Structure 1
Amino acid sequence: MRFLLFLLFIILKISFATAQNITVYDNESHEPIEGAMLYNALKTNTAITNEHGIVDISLFTNAETIYISHVSHILKKTTKAALIASGNRVYLLDNENQLNEVVLSVSKFEQQTKDITQKVIRLDAEDVELKNPQTTADFLSQSGQVYVQKSQLGGGSPMIRGFSTNRLLITVDGVRMNTAIFRSGNLQNVINIDPFTIDQTEVILGPGSVVYGSDAVGGVMNFYTKKPSFSFEEGTSFSGMGLTRYATANNEKTGHLDLNFGLKKWAFLSSISYSDFDDLRMGGHGPDDYLRPEYVKISDGVDTVVENEDPNVQNPTGFNLLNLTQKVRFMPNSIWDLNLGLHYSTTSDYSRYDRLTRKRGDELRSAEWYYGPQTWFLGNLQVDKKGNGDIYDNAKLTAAYQYFEESRNDRDFNNPILYSTEEQVNAYSLGLDFTKKLSENRLFYGLEYVYNKVNSLGNQTNINTGEQAATASRYPDNSSWQSLAAYLSGQFNLAEKLTLQTGLRYNHILINAAFDDTFYDFPFEDANVNFGNLTGSAGLNWQTSDILDLKLNLGTAFRAPNIDDIGKIFDSEAGSVVVPNPNLKAEYAYNAEIGAALKVGESLRLDLTTYYTHLENALVRRDFNLEGVTVIDYQGEPSNVQAIQNAARAEVYGIEAGLEYLFSKNVKFTSHINITEGSQEEDDGSNAPLRHAAPLFGNTHLIYRLNKWKFDASAEYNGEIAYEDLAPSQIANDYLYALDADGNPYSPKWYTLNLYSEYQVAQNWKATAALENITDQRYRPYSSGISAPGRNLILALKYSF
């Protein structure tokens, strides 16, 4: 609370110094316009808007004519007096010659959307501002095109086109976040990315291995964070934003502050965000199977099951999250652009809620099951250089270092032994990317090197005596994973409205791990893996007319086994333990998709995409033996031996549809729906439902803008997965689900109704208020171990300067 009061004081103090600022907006999107120039007739007075569209007009007199120009907007003439009279806000009309929207993710360089052959969805800072997602996982979920699973409040594991976890790739400013211990089980690393620092997000739906390498099987999530802004005037510029937010469902208290300091050639951006979440309250109307009637209370080392005063409160789920960002940008001239980004994120301890609801017989199985602080640091130096056109037109060097730390801690009910494992990953990467224009065509090519060093320790502690002893680590300590790659892709204009995008990538993978036989007698001492992978893609974008755009894309992708696949030891489910298996190779995906976009007049846009992916040599968990031994003791419990193996095939197919209709420039209707089906080959040769094939899901929005107001009335919806359509692994985890009339687990259908609003209180002040899950539904997204928030009131106040 003291932090929030201090932040409010800073905001109020700064507001007194900005009385003569105005904000320039786009008339259609109502987004602020950066780089708009204001000048008088003789151009003796000039000023340029900052990244928030704000500019100081104190140097102009009240009577003189002010011209406002921008490369993609129509010139506007006005006066200072008129600007002040209009509430310090001015709107520019789009110029019909405005450049096409560009996408960065498909080639790492800007490409116009009309040339892209894959489906890419875009989310930007405006989505964060209106919806106020608590984490970046929630931000993705709100898109209606990325499904998100949660096992605890401090989590969020995206699913895209039937794939999840280590079959999806996450990048931040072009640096891969996936490490050698990204697992096939649910991941929550995406919550370490601060949504307040995101400038735009581009999600490639479908394979992306040609440009991004291993793991980009189902899709690629690219997060581009805000860059520092230079001063466009003589001297220095200073701008920033502060925000406070509160939400009722988990008593969220969030504060954010970012400050930008700009010079002619140097610019600096500093950011801090802090969130504190209490236990999450679920909705009041839905399956009673999700209620939390009891929980374990620990007092002086004694475990006691106590009654939950409010079974709708999921105890324990609360945690806190801290994000720090420092960006530095240097442009000595028009040729060089250097960017340094430093990101730090850490959490408190947080409970894995789903494990705390499991039972052994009629009794709760675990007294404690929590993750230690999840810490992430990224240091990223990016150098962009314009060439003379002989070998390249633009070059980009990306050198990055990342540090990851996580731990798991669990203790059975009335058992004094707390088992802990701690993992640390030091990840280094170096990439060099080029683009070269050849007449009307473009080439993209590059090299990449990635090195991961994994350290892992195991420990057990007697909570009564404090005695400690070593135990088996989760991964082989001091193991390493390396990737060396080269790629070449091209964009070829076959005709005026027909574009071909094609490419190849070769990856070489090196894995080294030594297994400790202190606690388990493995029939192998180490793993030395050395293999190569070749992937390719080809796609067409055909603008058949002004109203119809067709896309066809064929591609392959791969996921190389990592340290988690080869060397992990963990309890996969009650009564089973996963052990190392050094004899693994990469899994391959073969994908085909067809998309169509139909534009009817200026008001209606429809898009439809259908896809099919076949996965060979799928890395899956199967029963295993250690020289004939099929049951071993794990943490005092006889456990069935399993291991990750290349033991299956899988296929996934689906349809994605979207609609956008403009009733007027102020009223817009949008809707998205996703249907995914998938199956996986089982041990006996039969097919079973694919675990990460999400149920039917989507959303619908009615958006209204008027002057200082913006409203978004929305519905989120989710189909049912019946018992017979659940994957075998999910049937085994029946504690995650509601029970049908026959007592079998299933995932019920659900919907929520939501209302978001935004009001420009004053020139620099903006208030947002939202009411989510208005009808207070009690529901769980598919495969989740924690119920979603019930009725949730969100209030936020933002100040920009």
Structure 2
Amino acid sequence: MYNKDKSVSNITDFEGQVSLDKFSDSDRIYFQSMAFETYAIDKKEIRSFAHQILMTPRSEKINPVVISASKFEQRLQDIPQKIISQNVQDVLSNNPQTSADLLQQSGQVYVQKSQQGGGSPLIRGFSTNRLLITVDGVRMNNAIFRGGNLQNVISIDPLSIDHTEVILGPGSVVYGSDAIGGVMNFYTKKPQFTQDSMVFSGNALIRYATANNENTAHLDFNYGTSKFAAATSISINSFGDLKMGSHGPDEYLRNQYVDRTNGQDVMVDTNNPEKQIPTGYDQINLLQKFRYKLNQSWEFDLGLIYTATGNYSRYDVLTRFNDTGDPRFAQWYYGPQKWFMANAKAIHRGNGKWYDKMIFSQSYQKFEESRNNRSFQEAKLFQSKEQVDVHTTSIDFERRNRENNVLFYGAEFLDNRVGSIGSVFDIDLEEREAAASRYPDGSSWRSLAAYANYQWRLNRKLTIQSGLRYNHIWLDAQFRDQFFNFPFEEVHLSTGALTGALGATYLPDDTWELRANFSTAFRAPNVDDIGKIFDPSPGTVIVPNPDLESEYSYNTEIGIKKRINDKFTFDLATYYTHLKDALVPRDFQLNGQDIILYQGELSQVQAIQNAESAIVYGVEIGVQYEFNDHLKIYGHYNWLQGEQEEIDGSKVAVRHVSPSFGDFHAVYQNDKLQLDTFVMFNGQFEFNDLAPSQQARPYLYARDRNGDPYSPSWYTVNIRSSYKINEGLTATAILENITDQRYRTYSSGIAAAGRNLIFAIRYAF
């Protein structure tokens, strides 16, 4: 409730009751609530309504509320970008093993996997460090997020998630660097207050899957009072070796694997080529959150998250063979991937003069990861260990200067510190010696930014949203490495980036939704771009390059949504992105040499460079038809294309542009039973459709009639079911890939699960 002339405001309690003593009898009071029409009335007239104000919903069908576009609540239909969301019920129904699987099950995010302990999302032709991940509003991307496939999303426990919101397309105005292709926002369970003296509730779940012998146990609970609440979540996962399907390319089968017997590496014939050895791993996920409500104006939150995996093998690398027919590696595995986040927030509801709501956040994150590899029949195990400490301070404001216009603004500071060490361990002699580290030890990456985003609702039909952000990046690194004679000892980067967005949504009536958006986005070079040393493929080594600048994208999106007879909904989005000065690996020279010795092998020297431009464009289609309250069908289809210009002017495919893909579902639901029968499908990439980097990795793909690698099309038929046995107990049974197809998602180094029976039982208390 507020008065525009005097900037006086107040909010209701949990029962919707409020004192209006702040207002005089002559004041005109505006009553405002998200997704409802703003109502205005003079205070003296309220008595005639028995002191009760009834709010009118703005729309029956198209009024979900999201917070990802501005960090504050907005109606989805007011946002000019496409946002997809999944709630906790979707998680419980789908029962994803990881958060990467959760994204893939949306039917609108593509996921690549190099091993079972992984999942690298692709959104609108972009991946890895051109996508941004946030957890509870804190960016997860750090200074060593790389251009190669990333596995960090598996650190987010899907069973601790309350809901996800994925922005398809750029988000640099609100989120800064890296948000070129999209922003994946994960919001974990929030402690819930109660009006009772004390309420304790929770969920327990156990799950088993046949394709990888998965065993998962989960427990979460909430303790709440009127002012204090706490939420706890614990998940323990154990995944065995993954079994692929029986109908598909023979190139995906693994007939042999390496075992170490009596101090020697030997090839072992497998009695089940469909079993991918070694791919199993374990994981633990812990979450603890607290909320304290001091009064109607102040709230304080604290969230603690810790996740850790065991060792997990890089399966795609272990399938490589050298010219002699021997495996290239006997071992290649990631050490435990650990992530800790402490996130403290203070939330204040203001009086409307400078802001109506303020969120101040201070967070700390610690990332740990390692890489370990040993060549076949060699004793030297090369190891690199990395640690990144990230401090984030942000402050965000929301001010509604009229009932329809909103200003969002804020500032953010990030400080990344990178620790990196390398060593070689002789497994026969049990001796260790120093070796080149992957990154310059002690390097730093810092960012300072301010942004403003204004939503202007001209009338009931037309809303315009615009925004600007300025970001400044500093990077410092020292190269004092006795293993390489670099022509420089240190790198200092200081660069700024201005990004903007302008969009509009138009609602001709309750059945139409039209939107258009133009925006720019950027990615600043990080420590991985400037300072890493590693081998991306056999005979190639990436070396540091201090002469880098930010890459920029220019983006256009147009969307249409139509509802017919409250039963049929059609959704269409088209987009076009131009990426300029793209940071990509290209041939390079180190001290005048284009070939050097790296880990005992002569390797072609490459470095990350601002070498090219690229365009990506596509169409996304969604349909839904509701027969009645119990039965509906829906589906998605995604088509995209991309090309990048090489230094010589030639045009080639963009690496992270996926084949066309989508899904189609038929869902029946009543009070106790839910059945979801669905098909997932994927188009084909011929050899000429593959990016050059993928053409050079035949071990990832099937072979065509000419012996060239290609990515075959595939489909799976699946059924999910859940049955509510009683108020507390629910059983879920899922049969995936019923026809037992053998397939790999594009660019993946591991085949997906074959026929897979998943059984879970959940008890709510």
Same fold (TM over 0.5): yes
2:449–2:470 Cα contact (<8 Å) kept = yes
2:35–2:75 Cα contact (<8 Å) kept = no
The 2-side partners of 1:110 and 1:127 are apart by 21
Deviations 1:255-305 (A, max 9, x none): 000121112211111111001000000001000000010000012431000
1:559-708 equivalences in 2 (<5 Å): 559-708=523-672
Residue 489 of structure 1, CA deviation: 1.0
Query: 1:448: which partner in 2?
Result: 412
1:316 matched to 2:285 = no
1:437 matched to 2:400 = yes
1:715 matched to 2:679 = yes
Q: Secondary structure at the match of 1:573?
A: coil
Query: 2:481: which partner in 1?
Result: 517
Of the candidates 399, 415, 421, which is equivalent to residue 384 of structure 2? 421
Query: 1:349: which partner in 2?
Result: 311
The 2-side partners of 1:315 and 1:445 are apart by 51
Residue 97 of structure 1, CA deviation: 7.2
Of the candidates 373, 392, 397, which is equivalent to residue 410 of structure 1? 373
Query: 1:162: which partner in 2?
Result: 125
Deviations 1:471-490 (A, max 9, x none): 00000000000000000110
Deviations 1:536-560 (A, max 9, x none): 0000101122222111000000000
* Equivalent AA in structure 2 for residue 154 of structure 1: G
1:119 matched to 2:92 = no
1:537 matched to 2:529 = no
Query: 1:215: which partner in 2?
Result: 178
Of the candidates 168, 171, 189, which is equivalent to residue 205 of structure 1? 168
1:383 matched to 2:346 = yes
The 2-side partners of 1:143 and 1:445 are apart by 31
Query: 1:230: which partner in 2?
Result: 193
The 2-side partners of 1:685 and 1:416 are apart by 45
Deviations 1:606-662 (A, max 9, x none): 010000000000000000002311111000100110000001101100000000100
Q: Secondary structure at the match of 2:688?
A: helix
1:470-481 equivalences in 2 (<5 Å): 470-481=434-445
Residue 230 of structure 1, CA deviation: 1.8
Deviations 1:388-421 (A, max 9, x none): 0111111011110000000000000001100000
* Equivalent AA in structure 2 for residue 395 of structure 1: M
1:185-334 equivalences in 2 (<5 Å): 185-233=148-196, 235-334=197-296
The 2-side partners of 1:577 and 1:622 are apart by 11
Query: 2:760: which partner in 1?
Result: 796
2:420–2:439 Cα contact (<8 Å) kept = yes
* Equivalent AA in structure 1 for residue 663 of structure 2: N
2:331–2:374 Cα contact (<8 Å) kept = yes
The 2-side partners of 1:96 and 1:504 are apart by 29
Query: 1:147: which partner in 2?
Result: 110
Q: Structure 1 regions of 5+ residues with no counterpart?
A: 1-34, 38-70, 74-93
The 2-side partners of 1:621 and 1:197 are apart by 37
Residue 100 of structure 1, CA deviation: 2.6
Between 609-618 and 359-368, report the one with greater CA deviation.
359-368
Identity of aligned residues (%): 55
Q: Secondary structure at the match of 2:154?
A: helix
The 1-side partners of 2:211 and 2:187 are apart by 29
Q: Secondary structure at the match of 1:385?
A: strand
Query: 2:48: which partner in 1?
Result: none
Q: Secondary structure at the match of 1:399?
A: strand
The 2-side partners of 1:469 and 1:185 are apart by 28
Residue 119 of structure 1, CA deviation: 0.4
* Equivalent AA in structure 2 for residue 780 of structure 1: R
Q: Secondary structure at the match of 2:547?
A: coil
Residue 496 of structure 1, CA deviation: 2.4
1:350–1:371 Cα contact (<8 Å) kept = yes
Q: Secondary structure at the match of 2:486?
A: coil
Q: Secondary structure at the match of 1:448?
A: strand
The 2-side partners of 1:406 and 1:694 are apart by 28
The 1-side partners of 2:672 and 2:400 are apart by 44
**TM-score relative to the length of structure 2:** 0.92
The 2-side partners of 1:645 and 1:325 are apart by 40
Deviations 1:710-744 (A, max 9, x none): 00000000000000110000011110000001100
1:301–1:463 Cα contact (<8 Å) kept = no
Of the candidates 526, 539, 554, which is equivalent to residue 490 of structure 2? 526
The 1-side partners of 2:666 and 2:35 are apart by 27
Residue 333 of structure 1, CA deviation: 1.2
2:436–2:481 Cα contact (<8 Å) kept = no
* Equivalent AA in structure 2 for residue 748 of structure 1: P
The 1-side partners of 2:229 and 2:405 are apart by 34
* Equivalent AA in structure 2 for residue 280 of structure 1: L
The 1-side partners of 2:333 and 2:590 are apart by 30
Residue 124 of structure 1, CA deviation: 1.0
Deviations 1:141-194 (A, max 9, x none): 111100000000000000000000000000000000000000000000000001
Query: 1:339: which partner in 2?
Result: 301
Query: 1:765: which partner in 2?
Result: 729
Residue 96 of structure 1, CA deviation: 8.9
**TM-score relative to the length of structure 1:** 0.88
The 1-side partners of 2:172 and 2:198 are apart by 43
Between 94-103 and 480-489, report the one with greater CA deviation.
94-103
The 1-side partners of 2:99 and 2:212 are apart by 17
2:422–2:434 Cα contact (<8 Å) kept = yes
Query: 1:358: which partner in 2?
Result: 320
Q: Secondary structure at the match of 2:483?
A: coil
The 1-side partners of 2:372 and 2:75 are apart by 48
2:330–2:375 Cα contact (<8 Å) kept = yes
Q: Secondary structure at the match of 1:355?
A: helix
Residue 516 of structure 1, CA deviation: 2.2
The 1-side partners of 2:413 and 2:85 are apart by 28
1:747 matched to 2:711 = yes
Q: Secondary structure at the match of 1:446?
A: strand
2:177–2:521 Cα contact (<8 Å) kept = yes
Of the candidates 341, 358, 364, which is equivalent to residue 395 of structure 1? 358
Residue 578 of structure 1, CA deviation: 0.1
Of the candidates 134, 139, 156, which is equivalent to residue 97 of structure 2? 134
* Equivalent AA in structure 2 for residue 177 of structure 1: M
Superposition CA RMSD, Å: 1.7
* Equivalent AA in structure 2 for residue 344 of structure 1: Y
Q: Secondary structure at the match of 2:90?
A: helix
The 1-side partners of 2:116 and 2:82 are apart by 30
Residue 36 of structure 1, CA deviation: 11
Residue 72 of structure 1, CA deviation: 10
Q: Secondary structure at the match of 2:77?
A: helix
The 2-side partners of 1:245 and 1:413 are apart by 37
The 2-side partners of 1:615 and 1:542 are apart by 28
The 2-side partners of 1:355 and 1:348 are apart by 18
